[in-house]
């Protein structure tokens, strides 16, 4: 074969000939990348004998049976390191296409025997469902549509996050257990059965039902181009007064209930008064929306107080939304006693986690706000739950300014919430319209 230095410089290079396999890969584009979010639980685990180095090849083989151009760009594993082998953890950390997010499952404490139904109590790791929601929905912020995301999980509580991604221009792929919630696959464009996705098998379902056995690869693509967001990450809103005035609030009503006898009509105006005192009256800050989340909100806030709060919000320019999720019927594994719950979901399966937890639901709300209002601004969180720390860190790294109201901040300097917030109140002081208690050195008082 002649050397390049021996060729005639007056003659152009000939057209490079590619093999059939190379030609297929050369046609891949940025929109053909698939980002995988894997809920490594007892129902979708990593097989102990599975070598991570071969995992991407098998998943790519399964994706190729749907569309030959699809390929895995990155895999995010969410789970407890005790559920995988040391070799697998080491291989994940050594693979630049993979990320491990330490998390654990959590179950309630039995009212009868007072024993936790899992080893969640005492662990420092964040709950796996909240991590999955934050990573999945945060993908829409870091990598705007169009694109592909794949969820590997048997927990049908992720259906709302999957629908959220689908409405924002993503094609959602799913790998779930055969006995998961029957209509779980309807929230994804195409679905695989687990562990078929890591065995090189093709998809089994689309939104309409089961695919035929002789299903052959198709060319998916995106028929309608999805416009990129007008305001990309890092750009400043052309109207600074708007960005610095309207604040969304997220209230964990279970951890921060109202004091006995507090007038619910004064809640929003008192919060606005406290916010205005922070900036010395300039660029008057005000609450634009308030999301109240908690399964016990019905008991903490009576029906009449909830209606008063919702109806009084618009007169102060604030939209109020109260969400009270149902609880699943659970049985204690120690004493076999059903957990007390005011209501039950209409479906029951063995793969869904409990959803009557505020951090999971408020994380969904926070991520929805992050994606829908991309320009960094203010966020108010009313909670003392340290599980919100990683979510606040996620927002802060993307330029959002965090305002925090805690029930008590005696040990706030050592909490995860305090370290991730720029500005803080005692919850009791916020309800009375008083000034904030502390500021960060990066954002001193009256300098926002």
- pLDDT tens digits for 35-88? 999 999 767 888 888 888 889 999 999 999 999 889 999 999 998 888 888 889
pLDDT digits (tens, 9 = 90+) for 279-294: 654 457 788 889 888 7
Instruction: Please indicate whether residue 113 or residue 13 has the higher confidence score (pLDDT).
Output: 113
| pTM (global) more than 0.75 | yes
**Average pLDDT across the chain, whole number:** 75
- Please tell me the predicted confidence (pLDDT) of residue 260: 82
CATH class (in words) of the domain with range 242-325+357-439: alpha beta
- CATH T-level topology, domain 29-210: Rossmann fold (3.40.50)
Beta-carbon neighbour count of residue 201 at 10 Å? 16
pLDDT in tens, 102-126: 887 655 555 566 555 443 343 445 6
Q: What are the start and end residues of each CATH 3.40.50.1010 domain in the chain?
A: 29-210, 242-325+357-439
Residues 41 and 128: beta-carbon distance below 8 Å: yes
Q: Cα–Cα distance between 369 and 120 in angstroms, integer?
A: 29
The confidence score (pLDDT) of residue 23 equals 43
Confidence of residue 416 (pLDDT cuts 50, 70, 90): low
| pLDDT(298) > 70 | no
Dihedral sign of CA atoms 249, 255, 256, 261 in order:
positive
- Cβ atoms of 96 and 102 within 8 Å: the answer is no
Burial class (CB in 10 A: 0-12, 13-18, 19+), 341: middle
Beta bridge partners of 116: 109
């Amino acid at each position: 074969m002649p050397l390049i230095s021996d060729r005639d410089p007056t003659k152009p290079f000939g057209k490079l000939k590619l093999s059939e396999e190379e030609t297929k890969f050369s046609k891949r584009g940025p929109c053909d990348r698939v980002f995988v979010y894997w809920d490594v639980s007892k129902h979708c685990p990593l097989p102990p004998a599975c070598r991570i180095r071969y995992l991407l090849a098998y998943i790519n083989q399964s994706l190729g049976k749907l569309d030959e151009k699809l390929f895995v760009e990155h895999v995010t594993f969410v789970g407890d390191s005790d559920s995988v082998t040391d070799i697998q953890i080491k291989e994940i950390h050594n693979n630049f296409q993979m990320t491990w997010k330490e998390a654990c499952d959590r179950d309630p404490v039995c009212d009868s025997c007072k024993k936790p139904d899992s080893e969640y109590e005492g662990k420092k790791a964040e709950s796996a469902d909240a991590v999955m929601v934050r990573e999945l929905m945060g993908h829409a912020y870091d990598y705007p549509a169009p694109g592909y995301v794949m969820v590997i999980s048997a927990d049908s509580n992720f259906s709302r996050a999957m629908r959220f991604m689908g409405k924002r221009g993503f094609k959602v792929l799913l790998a779930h257990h055969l006995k998961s919630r029957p209509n779980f696959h309807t929230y994804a464009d195409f679905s695989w059965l687990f562990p078929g996705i890591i065995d090189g098998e093709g998809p089994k379902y689309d939104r309409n039902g089961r695919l035929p056995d002789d299903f052959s690869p198709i060319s998916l693509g995106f028929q309608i181009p999805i416009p990129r967001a007008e305001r990309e990450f890092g750009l400043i809103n052309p109207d600074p007064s708007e960005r610095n005035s309207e604040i969304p609030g997220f209230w964990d009503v279970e951890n921060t209930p109202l004091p006995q006898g507090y007038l619910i009509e004064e809640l929003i105006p008192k919060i606005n008064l406290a916010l205005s005192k922070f900036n010395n009256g300039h660029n008057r800050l005000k609450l634009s929306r308030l999301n109240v989340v908690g399964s016990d909100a019905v008991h903490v806030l009576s029906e009449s107080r909830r209606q008063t709060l919702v109806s009084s919000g618009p007169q102060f320019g604030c939209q109020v939304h109260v969400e009270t999720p149902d609880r699943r019927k659970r049985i204690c594994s120690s004493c076999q006693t059903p957990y007390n719950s005011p209501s039950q979901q209409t479906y029951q399966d063995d793969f869904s986690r409990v959803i009557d937890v505020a951090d999971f639901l408020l994380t969904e709300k926070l991520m929805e706000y992050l994606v829908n209002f991309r320009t960094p601004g203010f966020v108010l969180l009313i909670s003392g739950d340290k599980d919100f720390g990683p979510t606040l860190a996620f927002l802060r790294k993307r330029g959002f300014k965090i305002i925090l109201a805690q029930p008590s901040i005696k040990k706030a300097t050592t909490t995860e919430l305090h370290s991730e917030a720029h500005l803080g109140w005692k919850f009791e002081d916020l309800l009375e319209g008083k000034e904030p208690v502390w500021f960060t050195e990066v954002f001193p008082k009256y300098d926002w």
